[in-house]
Chains A and B, each alone.
Chain A
């Protein structure tokens, strides 16, 4: 029952994260504020959507990051399974609530945006439904972490869940497309279809996306530090019991 503090990895992580966290937080704040203020105050209305186009600047970045957060958790889980770096497992644990909140934001802003356009508060459109399912995946993942006492067991089981869940999430996405053709606009954000979204909307959106991205990074770094400390507490308390 050795203490994880003695492993170089967590120590190095704590040192590095302490150094870069203020910078990441600052960049996140700047990008967020710039992007959202720009988008909210300094962009025109859309011809069809009116002022609801402004919701674009919160909805799209949060939706993109909601998915990216899960992908990061998937990679971190793989690293844990293959290399047994504790920091990796704890980073996945730390990222989950952030991803879940991003998903909630995407769902709420998506529903609110849809209401005046589609006439209903909720539409079983494939993308919106996919995000609902993603939300459930996050919930299950977090619940599993909470349900298991032993940290290493929890890390192992949740990483298996994340891997299997990812496969099913991808399959669900395609199944949902099959199920309902959907009302979401076609890929307005794809790389080669920039002409779909005019520049005047594109740049503030990009800035907001950078904001969300750096916010994610900052929060995950911050929360992982907490998880590492919490893990150390568990290890020390267990040592106390055996001493």
Chain B
């Protein structure tokens, strides 16, 4: 599993691996928000936490179809399926690799973008914390979605349609934690709930993803 993990890392970072694209998207999205809703810094300050959460989520979403697609296309996925590594382990490893190459960088970039959006000072630790806790869920859920649609040609849009409703609880609770942190209210409870969702997703979704992969690899 470690070998697979390192391989995926290397693939992502290499040119054409899409490593920087999620970050670039996050940046562009953040730049677009004031252009769309007006430069009023007071208003931006109020919604910055939510916007950043949304941007990170969407950047994650866009990178999901890479999780299995390349391996599917060149037959590697078939090989991996016949290897002694259980499909559940494969799914979990893929999710972890996705998080490390997409989720974590987004978490790192978020506070920088927070400065751009006038995020209130108190919110920074909560933003980073909630994203750190929530992005693994996004990766786990996204890996499940990718496993469902791996066999579908140009299934990217369908993947988004399937995954976005599943992202709702994480988004609500994660963004709530960041926003409440900005306002100085109790941000710990939503953070705990986000953590709960993440732990549940990491534990259970690899099984669902493996089931989907099995179906698609028949």
Contact = CB atoms under 8 A, between A and B. Distances in A.
Interface of A: 133, 136-137, 139-140, 143-144, 147-148, 153, 156-157, 160-161, 163-165, 168, 171-172, 175-176, 178-179
B114 interface: no
B212 to A, nearest CB: 6
A133 B215 CA distance: 27
B172 interface: yes
A136 B197 CA distance: 20
B164 to A, nearest CB: 7
A89 to B, nearest CB: 13
| Across the A-B interface, the 6 shortest Cβ-Cβ residue pairs | A175-B169, A156-B215, A136-B165, A140-B162, A175-B172, A171-B169
B161 A147 contact: no
Nearest to A147: B152
B165 A168 contact: yes
A157 B148 contact: yes
Interface of B: 144, 148-149, 151-152, 155, 158, 161-162, 164-166, 168-169, 172-173, 176, 189-190, 193, 197, 205, 208, 211-212, 215-216, 218
Given A175-B172, A178-B173, A168 B166 contact: yes
A165 B169 CA distance: 12
A37 to B, nearest CB: 37
A156 B208 CA distance: 11
Contacts, number: 73
Given A153-B216, A157-B212, A157-B216, A147 B155 contact: yes
Nearest to A148: B152
B175 to A, nearest CB: 9
Nearest to A179: B172
- Of B165, B190, B211, the most chain A CB neighbours within 10 A belong to B165
A136 B193 contact: no
A9 B168 CA distance: 39
A165 B148 contact: no
B155 A164 contact: no
A201 to B, nearest CB: 33
- Of B152, B158, B215, the most chain A CB neighbours within 10 A belong to B215
Contact of B166 (A156, A160, A164): A164
Contacts of B158: 140, 143-144, 147
B172 A140 contact: no
A156 B155 CA distance: 17
B195 to A, nearest CB: 13
A144 B151 CA distance: 11
A139 B149 CA distance: 15
A157 B205 CA distance: 14
Contacts of B216: 153, 157
A175 B173 contact: yes
Nearest to A146: B158
Contact of A153 (B161, B166, B172, B218): B218
A143 B161 CA distance: 9
Nearest to B196: A171
B38 to A, nearest CB: 21
Contacts of A137: 165
25 contacts: A133-B165, A136-B161, A137-B165, A140-B158, A144-B148, A144-B162, A147-B149, A147-B158, A148-B152, A153-B215, A153-B216, A157-B148, A165-B165, A168-B166, A168-B169, A171-B169, A171-B197, A172-B165, A172-B168, A172-B172, A175-B169, A176-B172, A178-B190, A178-B193, A179-B173
B215 A136 contact: no
Contacts of B152: 147-148
Contacts of B208: 160, 163-164
B197 to A, nearest CB: 7
A36 B190 CA distance: 43
